[in-house]
Amino acid sequence: PHSSEQQPSLPLDTSEVSPNQKSLWYVEKIEPGIENNIGLFFGIKGELNVEVWKENLLTIINRHESLKTEFYTKDGELVKHVKDQIEEVPTFYAEESNFEKAKIKLKQLFERQFDLSYAPLFRLAIVKVSKNHHLVSFCFHHIISDGWSIKVIFDEFNSLLENRSLTKIFTSFSE
């Protein structure tokens, strides 16, 4: 990943950020941490095909501008850039047969900071407890998501897992 302060070749297609995004970015610069990580944690009973999950999440990421957005400074001003396409879902995978240790491992994977200058500001973490039991986390930075947008994403993800088509996007949650 590149530095959020200076990038060697900045894209020409940048846009202003919302006041909320600006506030979150400044907080992150002043006090870097995980306070703005938003997580969705759940368990899965049954087999889990990591590649199918990654493919479905990549489909969702590439249909929502906010999930393809990165932030950096240009001429001293904070700007955002929406990438044309994301090629890979950041995925962390571990195996741990002890359930309590598996929960700790998932928490550790969730507690990693995001580099706001490198999209996507989303990651998937999976801890396999057994062949038929997994702990999962979807982790977003708050600068690109909130409770409403996470529900939309989760609903779309479930639709794809159930082989249902996704509806047309009428609104954007890029701010």
Task: Spell out the per-residue pLDDT of the chain, length 175, in tens.
Answer: 444 444 445 555 667 788 999 999 988 988 888 899 998 899 999 999 999 999 999 999 999 999 999 998 888 889 999 999 999 999 999 999 999 999 999 988 888 999 999 999 999 999 999 999 999 999 999 999 888 888 888 899 888 988 888 877 655 544 4
Among 173, 140, 7, 149, which residue's Cα sits nearest to residue 78? 7
Asked if the peptide bond before residue 120 counts as cis, ω within 30 degrees of 0, the response is yes
Per-residue pLDDT at 11: 56
Return the amino acid letter for 55. E
